[in-house]
Every structure is written in C-alpha cells, then in structure tokens.
Amino acid sequence: MGIFNWGGKGGEDKLQLKKLGLALSGGSARGLAHIGILRALEEASIVPDIISGTSMGALVGVLYAAGLSPNQIKDTVNKEPLLKMVRPAWGQHGLFKVGELRKVLEKHIPKDDFGSLKTPFYVAVSNINKGHKEIISEGSLFDYVLASCAVPVIFAPMVINGTTYIDGALYDNLPADAIRPLCKTLIGIHVNYIGEQKQFTSIIDVAGRTFSLSIGENVRAAMESCDYLIDPPAITDFSLWDYDKADAIIETGYSFTKEWLEQHSSLLSDISNR
C-alpha cells in the first residue's frame, strides 16, 4: 500500500448515514482547544453521531466518544497534567514515551475496544514501516490512540503487532476523509492554524510554525471536504508545547466557537434537514 491508503483496518459500517460527524485535528498542546470547542457546540445542542481524530484530537475525541463531557475532559487535563504523564524513553527512538497516558484511558474507558465507545470513533495513525496512513475503527483501542499521539522524535513510537506507528498527523492531520462517506454533515475542527503569522518571539515559535506548515499541506483537501470548518486563528498565541496553559487554550477554542456559531445560526437546522 502507498501513502494514500485511505482504507485502514476498520471496515466502514454499511448502515444509514450518521447525521453529524466531527473530525478533530492534531496540534499538540493546541489540541486542548478541542475541549472548549466541543463545549460550545454542546451548548448549542450540536452533538456528533460519529467522530474521527488525529494526535491530540484522537485523545480528546476518544474521551468524548466514551461519554465524557467537555467539562469532565477539562477536569481530567487539570487533575492529570499531560506533561506529568510522560516519562523519559532513552534508547526508544524518542525523548519520552506516551505509555502513562494509557492510565487515563483505562480510568475513563471501561474496555480496550472500539466497540465499548458510546459514539463510533475513527483514529488516524502513521505506519512508518510501509510509509502510509491507516484509519483504525475496530478492535483494540488504547494502543492506536497512543500511537496517534506519538509525535516523532519527541515521543517513542508504538509497535503494534510488529508494525511501528507514530503520530497520525504525519499523513493526516485532519481525518475528514475517514468519516466523510459515513455522515451527512461533517464539521472539521482544525486547531493548528496555518494562515499568516506576523511575528515570532522565540526559536520555539519558529520550530512550531515550521512543524505546522510542514503538515499543513495534508489538511487542505480535508478542509475542502468538510461542510463546515472551525479553525481559530488565535490558537497561534500558543506554542505546540504550552501544556501548562491548558485553561487559556480551552477558553480560546470556546470563545471562538461561540462567535462562529453566531455567524452560522442556521447550522442546527441545516444538520436536521439533511
């Protein structure tokens, strides 16, 4: 299979189309904005029937698919800061390992299986043995979510059944195509803004911008396949590693989406009428 492996290991359900799908992008710490965005959507009675996620979007997305509310996910982040959930991984092809995140999944998801989730969930991972993306939607859950969060070099990769997987953002930072055929309305939630950025205050800003632009090309077609796109520009006020600013990042996603919803006042009726 080549790099455009759009299928993956989970078979598509040949059932009636879901009304609403959400595709959640990666973005490292910026991905915490998903929590605020989901909260704003819920307050407007906009709740998905199917979800896909990459990287941090996979972590937030799977907790939401398991039935946690946005506020519960926020509490989890605050009680168990993400930077404290990683450990050194010397000699394992990365600086840190994501295994500690498994404890969060085990605590909030009753069974290590996609079928245990309350909302259908699709996760994007990058198979670096064969050099393509895969979309996983059935079978064992936790390892693939952790693999999708394994940012190259920073985190050690996940080896699953002899195959080495890393961050899904490498090939698919906005997994819209994973669920586009399965829902009538698709909202893409992109928290790695690639519009103009006028200034950089540190080498970390430059590195983050470089990473964002390098994966930015793989989201353009995905954005176009969405019926609606939520893409807060103010997210660039935060670096990819600002995990200690979780509350501010979450609020940025929330406030932007509240304004966005005012501009898309017909969204709920559009979803209902499709």
**H or E element: which one contains 186?**
strand 183-189
pLDDT of residue 145: 96
Alpha-carbon dihedral 17, 193, 40, 146, rounded to 10 degrees:
70
pLDDT of residue 244: 86
pLDDT of residue 132: 95
Instruction: Give the C-alpha separation, 243 to 28, whole Å.
Output: 8
Residues 6+ apart with CB under 8 A from 86: 96, 97, 98, 100, 101, 155
| Whole-structure pTM value | 0.88
- What are the mean pLDDT values of the chain's consecutive 10-residue runs (274 residues total)? 36 71 94 97 97 96 98 89 48 54 90 98 97 96 94 81 93 96 97 77 71 75 96 90 90 98 92 87
pLDDT of residue 98: 63
Using DSSP bridges, classify how beta strands 121-127 and 163-166 pair: parallel, antiparallel or unpaired.
antiparallel
* Cα 124 → chain centroid: 9
Q: Give the three-state DSSP class for 80.
A: coil
